[in-house]
Amino acid sequence: MQGVATAPESTDFQRNDWTLISRDGPILKPELSWEGECIEGASVIYRNRRLYMFYAGAYNNWPQQIGVAESKDGFHWKRLSDKPFLANGRPGEWNSSESGHPHIFDDGKRTFLFYQGNNDNGKTWWISNVEVFWNKKGPYLKY
């Protein structure tokens, strides 16, 4: 599950520097069948006057897949779809066991979603990326 905590700008990331500020429990928890029992590894970007959270749904190799939620304030999040934004691959493909552990990167011109995948139930891992495109509705992939 995902929560929200703050720390002073001068923090050196010690545990006692953080203050939990999630209101009424987690800001995002597993609710969809493909999310299984876990939401983890969130990476957030600010775009189009909104926050977009790219997160991993399900535990490693269940398979893990990537979803996206949006927020205006960082506390209230709405999933953009009930399907994964980036699903795991088909049987035999390099990422058939998972596409997870996302990180969103934007250099001001282009946006890339980096993620981990494998096809052997976690014995090895590969890192890949896809370009993410944007419109008024939010992020999308070109297939």
Task: Report the percentage of the chain scoring pLDDT > 90.
Answer: 88
- Higher pLDDT: 20 or 102? It is 102
pLDDT at 143: 78
Cα(122)–Cα(120) distance, rounded to whole angstroms? 6
Give the DSSP letter string of 42-56: EEEEEETTEEEEEEE
Least confident of 21-30, 38-47, 65-74, 101-110: 21-30
The mean pLDDT value for 106-123 works out to: 96
**CA dihedral of residues 31, 91, 101, 57 (deg, nearest 10):** 0
Ranges assigned E (strand) in the chain = 5-6, 19-20, 39-47, 50-57, 65-71, 78-79, 98-106, 111-118, 126-135, 138-140
Residue 132 has pLDDT above 70, yes or no: yes
The mean pLDDT value for 97-122 works out to: 96
Domain boundaries of the chain, sorted by first residue: 29-140
Cα(143)–Cα(13) distance, rounded to whole angstroms? 40
Mean residue pLDDT across the chain: 94
Count of CB atoms within 10 A of residue 15's CB?
Answer: 6
CATH number of 29-140: 2.115.10.20
pLDDT (tens digit per residue) in 62-86: 999 999 999 999 989 999 999 999 9
Dig out the tokens for 53 from the structure: 């959270």
pLDDT at 23: 65
